[in-house]
Amino acid sequence: MHLNIAVLEGDGIGPEVVAQSIKCLRSVEETFGHSFTFQKGLIGASAIKQTGSPLPKETLKLCKSTDATLFGALGLPEFDNNPKAKVWPEQGLLKLRKKLGLFANIRPVKVFPSLVKQSPLSKAQVKDTDLVIFRELSGGIYYGEKTFDEEKNIATDICSYSESEISRITHLAFKSARSRKKKVTLVDKANVLETSRLWRRVVTQISESYPDVELNYQLIDNAAVQMVLNPAQFDVILTDNMFGDILSDQGSVIAGSIGLLPSASVGLEHAMFEPIHGSYPDAAGKNIANPVASILSMAMLLQHFKMNEESDAVVAAVLKSFSKKIVTPDILGSSKYGTNYVGDFIADNIMELD
Amino acid sequence: MHLNIAVLEGDGIGPEVVAQSIKCLRSVEETFGHSFTFQKGLIGASAIKQTGSPLPKETLKLCKSTDATLFGALGLPEFDNNPKAKVWPEQGLLKLRKKLGLFANIRPVKVFPSLVKQSPLSKAQVKDTDLVIFRELSGGIYYGEKTFDEEKNIATDICSYSESEISRITHLAFKSARSRKKKVTLVDKANVLETSRLWRRVVTQISESYPDVELNYQLIDNAAVQMVLNPAQFDVILTDNMFGDILSDQGSVIAGSIGLLPSASVGLEHAMFEPIHGSYPDAAGKNIANPVASILSMAMLLQHFKMNEESDAVVAAVLKSFSKKIVTPDILGSSKYGTNYVGDFIADNIMELD
Ligand SMILES: [Mg+2]
Ligand SMILES: [Mg+2]
């Protein structure tokens, strides 16, 4: 297969973790006889510095014309801590998601047996955790109309959802559940919010077309508790933009390191793959950043294009790095292996599985 | 001091846990020479059954005319599982909070050293946790206007905050921080929401009047992570209605038992004190319910009226019950002590501290 991949390295540790994924993709090319081309684009703080915009037009054009986008990380403290800034690095990502029509953010959370000790939760709590969060990504209160009445000093944000916005991600979630443990948990606040009540109605109705998948419901406050008490109960979690933001970040600590978790953002025409971690500027250039989240995101890219065998081979190489303790210091404090070494090891161990 | 206290026992285990708090208040009366009178009112499922309303007028009148309200617990499954019900027990509490102008919900989360093993988090994570959440209780998206457009199948919820709504709870939070570890963490989503940006501006401005208190900021998704990774970093958490709902329930699991956590809901003229646990109908009448959350809520009542010594004496008696293992079975599976025995022990051990 030939794929044309847009590469947005972004800020901080972005460039160095993405470099490991590209290394691994080169190895996949060789092992499985594919051909990948890579084209770089600017985004985030580095794009602001060079062009004034967090998402230059060329970058958007690049992402629209390629088959998929591999994204690094984004953000620098000089912007976060400046309330007077007119543009923020994060705007680049929000705009890109919107322009590419990426309406679903997919985040698997898996506790790897060899890393179970990494989790802040007790072993009994986390073992067997293997869930995936489907977060609606282009609607809800994050994108709703905002007002500020200067006279009365009143601010408002509107949360809005249409049936069609709910329905398209719901189908993705149920299809995913079919190839997993066949369970969908809808997380909402239906005892209080009108939008949540619409989610319940739409999702319940759609669930009837998937009789092999079980649907249950949790309120967001309870779900945040269950994510700590018993994350292994979940298979597919389906939820709106804001609740998904909170739950998926919370889910991320369960795995023991935010450096391990990949994500995909998909729409009808485009797809983007990115680690869930931030740009971690303090670690940039020090060869200590964990490349695994970026590499596993790249594995999701392969899966997205039905290269399941190839994706499995990448995951197997990552698991081998864990069992051989070829990991960065965030996983094992005493480890002397850096970003590059771990990336090389994983790339070298991508091979056809029997 | 003389206090006239409204007692709303509510449903399920409500009556039996409140009975232990009253026992302890009698002991405080004797030990410290105060005088408390108690007047009972109906609320919740039992009020619906007897009067048709979850909040009878007499109850509201009672709570308005007394100095403070001691609340038990609320709800019965026959209402929860009946989607056709016209009234719900929970409406009684929502309406009462609104009518009494209770705009701040205050929830301390403390991990007691002798109970640290109870927490689902590892000891390293939770020891030294001693935080209090100030949740805005009468505004935000839970109370905002809701619409549903049947033609377009679009639902909306409006989140709205005014400067004055933010300012009154902010002062409470900073005053509390002054008597604690002098640190306030504002939790919001200021990188996305207009209401959050108003919170930041108002809180930042007010913080200038409290130069002895440190203010910092966390985004809600990060705060949900930090609450798992390192809850001991927090002193006072200040946040809006919905974020507070999620964070305080999440905080509640950290303590290891929901049976331990008290809360206060305060306004300008009224105050109500209640355990955060529900009515736990399966345990009702079995003498197994944990009375500690109710007793600690009563200790918050004493503190509210500046009876700090008295409040400390109640907390000391509770700690003694922990160290002597005079606890209900939710804390120690093998324990044979019931609600009444634990209540008696704590009441008997309320004494003047040196
Ligand atoms: Mg987030
Ligand atoms: Mg709640």
Domains of chain A: 1-100+270-354 (3.40.718.10), 104-257 (3.40.718.10)
Is residue B148 within 8 A of residue B154, CB to CB? The reply is: yes
Query: How would residue B123 be classed by pLDDT, with cut points 50, 70 and 90?
Result: confident
Structure tokens of B279?
């009515």
Of A157, A229, A249, the CB nearest to B222: A249
Query: How would residue B95 be classed by pLDDT, with cut points 50, 70 and 90?
Result: very high
User: pLDDT tens digits, residue range B246-285?
Assistant: 999 898 888 888 889 999 999 999 999 999 988 999 999 9
Percent of chain B with pLDDT over 70: 99
DSSP three-state, residue B219: strand
Which conformational region is residue A101 in: left (phi greater than 0), alpha (psi within -120 to 50 degrees), or beta? left
Residue B76 has pLDDT above 90, yes or no: no
As a three-state string, the secondary structure of A167-227 is HHHHHHHHHHHHCCCCEEEEEECCCCCHHHHHHHHHHHHHHCCCCCCEEEEEEHHHHHHHH
Residue among A189, A235, A280, A341 flagged as catalytic: A189
- For this structure, is B188 an active site residue? no
Q: Which residues contact A31 (CB under 8 A, 6 or more apart)?
A: A310, A313, A350, A351, A352
Q: Which residues contact A134 (CB under 8 A, 6 or more apart)?
A: A104, A105, A106, A169, A172, A173, A176, A236, A237, A238, A239, A244
Cα A224 to ligand 2 centroid, rounded to whole Å: 10
Residues of A in contact with B192 (CB under 8 A): 141-142
pLDDT of residue A118: 79
Please, which contacts does A196-201 make with residues 24 or more away whose CB atoms are closer than 8 Å? Answer: A196/A240, A197/B148, A197/B155, A198/A161, A198/A163, A198/A166, A198/B148, A198/B153, A198/B154, A198/B155, A199/A161, A199/A166, A199/A240
pLDDT of residue A109: 94
pLDDT of residue B314: 98
Of B144, B148, B221, the CB nearest to A246: B221
Report how far residue A209's alpha carbon sits from residue A275's, in angstroms, rounded to the nearest whole number.
33
Residue among B67, B80, B130, B245 flagged as catalytic: B245
- For this structure, is B182 an active site residue? no
Report how far residue B67's alpha carbon sits from residue B73's, in angstroms, rounded to the nearest whole number.
20
- The alpha carbon of residue A305 is apart from the nearest alpha carbon of chain B, in Å, by 31
Cβ distance of B156 and A194 shorter than 8 Å: yes
Type of residue at B90: E
CA angle B314, B315, B319 (to 5 degrees): 120
Neighbour count for residue B286 (Cβ, 10 Å): 12
Sign, Cα dihedral of B123, B129, B134, B140: negative
Beta strands in A102-165 (DSSP E): 104-110, 130-136, 146-149, 154-162
Residues of A in contact with B156 (CB under 8 A): 144, 158-161, 194-195
- For this structure, is B249 an active site residue? yes
Residues of A in contact with B142 (CB under 8 A): 192-193
Please, which contacts does B339-343 make with residues 24 or more away whose CB atoms are closer than 8 Å? Answer: B339/B13, B339/B16, B339/B17, B339/B20, B339/B287, B339/B288, B339/B289, B339/B290, B339/B291, B340/B16, B340/B20, B340/B287, B342/B20, B342/B290, B342/B291, B342/B292, B343/B19, B343/B20, B343/B23, B343/B24, B343/B291, B343/B295
- A:B CB pairs within 8 Å: 150
Report how far residue A147's alpha carbon sits from residue A259's, in angstroms, rounded to the nearest whole number.
37
- The alpha carbon of residue A255 is apart from the nearest alpha carbon of chain B, in Å, by 12
Report how far residue A307's alpha carbon sits from residue A126's, in angstroms, rounded to the nearest whole number.
30
Cα B59 to ligand 1 centroid, rounded to whole Å: 43
Residues of B in contact with A158 (CB under 8 A): 156-159
Report how far residue A298's alpha carbon sits from residue A25's, in angstroms, rounded to the nearest whole number.
8
Neighbour count for residue B208 (Cβ, 10 Å): 8
Cα B137 to ligand 2 centroid, rounded to whole Å: 11
DSSP three-state, residue B341: helix
Cα A117 to ligand 2 centroid, rounded to whole Å: 30
Residues of A in contact with B125 (CB under 8 A): 120
DSSP three-state, residue A299: helix
Residue scoring higher pLDDT (B84 or A133): A133
Among all bound ligands, the one having the nearest atom to the CA of A105 is 1
Of A153, A197, A252, the CB nearest to B225: A252
Report how far residue A337's alpha carbon sits from residue A324's, in angstroms, rounded to the nearest whole number.
12
Q: What are phi and psi of B350, to 5 degrees?
A: -80, 110
Q: What is the mean pLDDT of chain B?
A: 94
Residue B337 has pLDDT above 90, yes or no: yes
- The alpha carbon of residue A31 is apart from the nearest alpha carbon of chain B, in Å, by 39
Percent of chain A with pLDDT over 90: 82
Cβ distance of A153 and B164 shorter than 8 Å: yes
Cβ distance of B122 and A125 shorter than 8 Å: no
DSSP three-state, residue B99: helix
E strand or H helix at B199: helix B194-207
Q: How far apart are the first and last CA of chain B?
A: 21
- For this structure, is B221 an active site residue? yes
Residue ranges in chain A whose pLDDT is less than 70: 81, 83
pLDDT of residue B207: 98
> Which stretches of A39-88 are DSSP H helices?
44-51, 57-65, 77-80
Cβ distance of A154 and B147 shorter than 8 Å: no
Residue B312 has pLDDT above 90, yes or no: yes
| Cα B180 from chain centre | 18
Q: What is the DSSP string of B46-93?
A: HHHHHHS-SS-HHHHHHHHHSSEEEEEE---HHHHT-TT-S--HHHHH
Nearest CA in chain B to A160: B156
Residue B83 has pLDDT above 70, yes or no: no
Report how far residue A117's alpha carbon sits from residue A98's, in angstroms, rounded to the nearest whole number.
38
